[in-house]
Every structure is written in C-alpha cells, then in structure tokens.
Structure 1
Amino acid sequence: MNKPIDIKTLRRKFGMSQEELARRLDMSRPTFINLEKGVRP
C-alpha cells in the first residue's frame, strides 16, 4: 500500500500558502483546508 501524502508538509516545503496552492489547484480555500485535514468531500 502507498504511503499517504502529507499535503501540509509538502505545501510548507515549497513555501506556499493555503490560498496560493488552492488557487493553483483551481479550488476554494475552504475545500483545500478540508483536503489538507483529510476530510472527505
């Protein structure tokens, strides 16, 4: 089984804010926050 990706750590490694990465992924910030927390849509 694959190891889950820690989005928060990866985002911080690249020095990006939640808002910036959400914009780049074409999603709202609240949706991205839930994704980062592991909340299912």
Structure 2
Amino acid sequence: MLSKMMRSKNHTDILADYYKRLRIPGAEKYSREMKKLYKTVFN
C-alpha cells in the first residue's frame, strides 16, 4: 500500500492527511517535514 502511495502524484498530501487523522501530538509537524523530504528526494 505504501509503495502505491509513493508512486502517486499526491503522495505527500495523502501522507499528510493520514498523519493529521492519527491525531498524535507532533503529527502535523512530522507531516510537514515529510512533505519537504519527499520534495527534495523526488524532484
């Protein structure tokens, strides 16, 4: 499942939404950091 998410164009948005839904303290910050990471890795 994760590999499908990574291949999709909006995988960062999917991950961000996933972490926001978890409602873990710091999850939003983590999702923002993950977006930055994916942008640097996949661009």
| Same fold per superposition (TM over 0.5) | no
Report TM bin, short chain: 0.3 to 0.5
Q: Which has the higher helix share?
A: 2
Q: TM-score, normalised by structure 1?
A: 0.36
Q: TM-score, normalised by structure 2?
A: 0.36
